[in-house]
Amino acid sequence: MENQEKVHKRRVRYSGTHPKSYKEKYKEHNPEKYADTIAKVIQKGSTPAGMHISIMVQEILDFLQIQPGMTGLDATLGYGGHTKAMLEKLEGNGHIYALDVDPIESAKTKERLANQGFGEEILTVHLQNFADIDQVVKDTGKKFDFILADLGVSSMQIDNPDRGFSYKVDGPLDLRMNPEKGDSAADRLAQVSYEELIGMLYENADEPYAEEIARVVMNWRKKGKAIETTTHFKEVIEEALSTIPEKEFAEKNRKEAVKKSCQRSFQALRIDVNSEFEVLYAFLDKLPEVLAPNGRVAILTFHSGEDRLVKRSFKELEKLGIYREVCKDVIRPSQEECIRNGRAKCTKMRWAIKS
């Protein structure tokens, strides 16, 4: 029997400090091993693949005033950057509960934090929607001294083409925070009515070309053309805006208008698929009953719809005496942070203190 020569398969060359392909960025996916590469990517103002740079960490810590022995909740675990900063403030004494509906990323984050010394004795991670914060209190019997909710989509989800969150790369049109539950964005577009789609685009993202986009979606469906990928949906938007005279665009040109419509339309579809407004309503409604007296809550929002809901809830509950103090003006990240991390630019922080 002849010996078969083993063929060595070369790894794709890591081209430069920031390769274009998500899967080729193997150094960025291993921050512990390639710390120098990670530092270079961040220095450029980019977010390394598979990572997420937490926003307004110092502002959050300054407000929450975490002390050893406290019990807290990170309602949106994500990559765990905020969680780690809050855990460090406990100095090994106290406990943080963390929620996330993403089974893929939450498992990675739990393992990462455990390897950094934050095990189950100080951190409990639940695969759970933050609309169910009352259930955590029922299970533990303890109310929270501090709560953080970062309502943004994590960079790990945005950058991974398999998750379908970005129009910039081709991938399945999914957009679900938990890809194991519910209908994908492609499923929604295959079922939604013309009037419902217009409402979705307008109400969730103030999309000015909602009618044109909805019309093209319906035409594709009539022709039997499936909208199954991020590229397909981008093509729908390009087609919808192709017949509009250049002079009617509020943006500088058609290309810029398409880019903005893609951003808004993907946002609108993501909000719908994940029932984000309904979840936020439930979270805000249940907040007072899970906060301890003098407990503090900070919320980061990333678009006007979210911010309006948070602002309204805080003000109404302050008038009722449920919160003794709420922020009067929205807090923004510093100019320096926005330069370091472009994804911080649209962030708004609001806070409230329980009576």
Same domain, 67 and 146: yes
The residue out of 273, 293, 325 marking a domain boundary is 273
**Percent of the chain surpassing pLDDT 70:** 83
Question: What CA–CA distance (Å, rounded) separates 125 from 107?
Answer: 9
> 104: closest CA among 22, 178, 28?
178
**Sequence-separated (6 or more) residues with CB below 8 Å from residue 131:** 278, 279, 282, 283, 286
Is beta strand 348-354 parallel, antiparallel or unpaired with respect to 291-301?
antiparallel
More confident residue, 164 or 30: 164
Sign of CA pseudo-dihedral 247, 248, 254, 260? positive
Q: What is the mean pLDDT of residues 119-142?
A: 92
- Do 148 and 79 belong to one domain? yes
Indicate if the pLDDT at residue 325 is higher than 80: yes
Confidence of residue 47 (pLDDT cuts 50, 70, 90): low
168: in domain: no
Same domain, 322 and 348: yes
Contacts of residue 312, Cβ cutoff 8 Å, sequence gap at least 6:
none
By mean pLDDT, which of 39-43, 109-113, 213-217, 309-313 is the weakest?
A: 39-43
CATH assignment at residue 216: 1.10.150
Domain boundary among 273, 304, 329: 273
* Residue 287 sits in the same domain as residue 150: yes
pTM of the full structure: 0.81
1 found inside a domain:
no
Other C-beta atoms closer than 10 Å to the C-beta of 322 total 16
Query: What letter represents residue 273's amino acid?
Result: V
Domain span at 194: 178-273
- Residue 349 clears pLDDT 70, i.e. is over it: yes
β-strand partners of 127: 100
Select the more confidently predicted residue: 165 or 127: 127
* 331 & 258 share domain: no
* Residue that wins the pLDDT comparison between 166 and 58: 58
The pLDDT tens digits of the residues spanning 193-250 come to 999 999 999 999 999 999 999 999 999 999 999 999 999 999 999 999 998 887 777 6
Quick one: how far is CA 268 from the chain centroid?
13
Helix (H, G, I), strand (E, B) or coil at 234: helix
What is the pLDDT, as a whole number, of residue 148?
Answer: 97
Of residues 89, 71, 76, the one with CA closest to residue 137: 71
Query: Is the domain of 137 the same as that of 112?
Result: yes
pLDDT at 162: 79
Average of pLDDT values for 188-193? 96
